[in-house]
């Protein structure tokens, strides 16, 4: 008999590790990414590939420098062994929130900033304070004006013959900007379908095809990566807040949630484990606050602010975690008994 392993219980562990969860997130992002490439053409594909590749490469080079093993060629083996796919997720997410028409060095810059500055310098996986992809987007957004020039997606015209937005520029505002600026968009059923598939919509690569995002949402819920109510809570609160801010005009509800980056942000970015609260109660606070801030800031600024709202709430998460109390099983009964005695 060989030497036995001794350890603390439990001696059984689930086979699902961090790596599996991250691969699941990548898979969930694929439908929206593929639709992005279909709708925006080859440039979108280059952006996605460059973003992912530079994110992984940035992590590898950082690891080489941080571990002082840059002369050691065989280090790649051990890097790959502990590679947990978080940087692939970051790169993919970042590409989803970049317009397809940007110069190709944008995604590279954004990925390097996201991985090196936001993630690795704070201590790597699990230690980052804000979502790296969001920080990367904001970094690009406030640096380059081209980040706000959204190309219009191809309109395959299969669903509807009505042009969704009545303007004649090829690049410019997303439909959301139009709504926020007060243009009265006549809402029709055909438009809803166009919005869902992203045909003829302006926007970033991953955010236009809502069907793709919803497919990803279903996949994540089925694989138990996220809880089903988390994005729904955010989206519902944001939609209702927009309605309330516009004098309870319910025609704003669907446009406010089906345009812009709300779905992408709610499903993939706000739900990031590291930068969202740990407890259920904390999560309720987090998503409600996110919804309120997003709707409020959208109304006040007239630009798409989902990423700013998420980054803001990311910074508040440690406070929420500190505030949420731990209530052990059976405590309630004791309280009730005390009240009954009193």
Partner 1 sequence: MKAIKAKYAFHGVHVPDKKALASGKPIENAPEQDVLNISLSQCLGKPSTPCVAVGDRVKQGQIIAEAGGFIGAKIHAPVSGTVKSVTGSIILENDKLYETDYLPPLENPTPDEIKQRVGAAGIVGMGGAGFPTFVKLNPQDKVDTLVLNGAECEPYLTCDHRIMIEKTNEIAEGIALLKKALGVENVFIGIEANKPDAIEAFEAFDFIQPVVLKKQYPVGSEKHLIYACTGRKVAPGKLPASAGCIVQNVATCLAIYEAVKFGKPLIERVLTVSGGAVKEAKNYLVKIGTPLSALLQDNLTEDAEKIVCGGPMTGVALKDLDKTVTKTTGGLVAMTVKETNVEQPTACLSCGKCADVCPMNLMPMNTEFYTDAGDYEMAAKKGGVMNCIECGACAYVCPARRPLVQSIRKAKAEIRKGGNK
User: Would you tell me which residues interact with partner 1 (CB under 8 A)?
Assistant: 1-2, 4-18, 20-21, 82, 84, 123-127, 273-274, 276-280, 283, 321-322, 326-334, 337
DSSP labels for 29-58?
Answer: HHHHHHHHHHHH-HHHHHHHHHHHHHHHHH
Minimum CB distance to partner 1 smaller for 25 or for 140:
25
- Assigned token pair, 198: 């992203």
What are the C-alpha distances in Å from 340 to residues 260, 331, 333, 336? 53, 14, 10, 6
Q: In the bound complex, what is the minimum distance in angstroms from residue 4's beta carbon to partner 1? A: 6
Is residue 130 within 8 Å of residue 315, measured between CB atoms? Answer: yes
Minimum CB distance to partner 1 smaller for 61 or for 324:
324
Minimum CB distance to partner 1 smaller for 123 or for 163:
123
Q: Is 174 left (phi over 0), alpha (psi -120 to 50) or beta?
A: beta
Q: In the bound complex, what is the minimum distance in angstroms from residue 330's beta carbon to partner 1? A: 4
Separation CA 242–CA 221 (nearest Å): 26
Is residue 242 within 8 Å of residue 188, measured between CB atoms? Answer: no
Q: In the bound complex, what is the minimum distance in angstroms from residue 13's beta carbon to partner 1? A: 4
What are the C-alpha distances in Å from 321 to residues 226, 272, 274? 18, 15, 12
Minimum CB distance to partner 1 smaller for 126 or for 163:
126
Q: In the bound complex, what is the minimum distance in angstroms from residue 129's beta carbon to partner 1? A: 12
Minimum CB distance to partner 1 smaller for 147 or for 269:
269
- Nearest 10 degrees: Cα torsion 235, 236, 237, 240: 120
Q: In the bound complex, what is the minimum distance in angstroms from residue 283's beta carbon to partner 1? A: 8
Q: In the bound complex, what is the minimum distance in angstroms from residue 341's beta carbon to partner 1? A: 13
């Amino acid at each position: 008999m060989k030497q036995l392993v001794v350890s603390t219980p439990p001696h059984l562990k689930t086979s699902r590790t961090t790596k599996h969860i991250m691969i699941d997130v990548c898979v969930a992002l694929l439908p929206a990414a593929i639709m992005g490439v279909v709708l925006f053409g080859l440039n979108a594909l280059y952006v996605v590939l460059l973003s992912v590749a530079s994110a992984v490469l940035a992590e590898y080079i950082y690891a080489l420098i941080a571990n002082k093993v840059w002369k050691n060629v065989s280090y790649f083996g051990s890097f790959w062994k502990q590679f947990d796919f978080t940087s692939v997720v970051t790169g993919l997410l970042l590409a989803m929130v970049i317009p397809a028409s940007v110069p190709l060095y944008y995604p590279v810059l954004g990925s390097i900033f996201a991985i090196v500055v936001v993630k690795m310098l704070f201590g790597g996986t699990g230690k980052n304070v804000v979502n790296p992809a969001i920080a990367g987007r904001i970094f690009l957004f406030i640096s380059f004006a081209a980040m706000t020039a959204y190309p219009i997606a191809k309109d395959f015209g299969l669903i509807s013959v009505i042009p969704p937005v009545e303007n004649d520029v090829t690049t410019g505002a997303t439909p959301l900007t139009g709504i926020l600026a007060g243009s009265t968009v006549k809402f029709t059923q055909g438009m809803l379908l166009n919005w869902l598939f992203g045909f003829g919509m302006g926007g970033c690569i991953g955010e236009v095809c809502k069907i793709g995002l919803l497919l990803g949402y279903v996949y994540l819920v089925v694989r138990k990566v996220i809880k089903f109510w988390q994005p729904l809570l955010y989206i519902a609160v944001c939609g209702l807040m927009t309605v309330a801010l516009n004098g309870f005009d319910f025609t704003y509800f669907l446009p406010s949630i089906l345009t812009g980056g709300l779905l992408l942000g709610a499903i993939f970015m706000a739900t990031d484990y590291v930068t969202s609260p740990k407890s259920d109660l904390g999560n309720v606070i987090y998503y409600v606050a996110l919804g309120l801030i997003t709707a409020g800031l959208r109304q006040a600024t007239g630009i798409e602010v989902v990423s700013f709202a998420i980054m803001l709430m990311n910074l508040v998460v440690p406070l929420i975690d500190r505030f949420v109390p731990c209530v052990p099983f059976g405590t309630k009964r004791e309280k009730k008994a005390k009240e009954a005695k009193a």
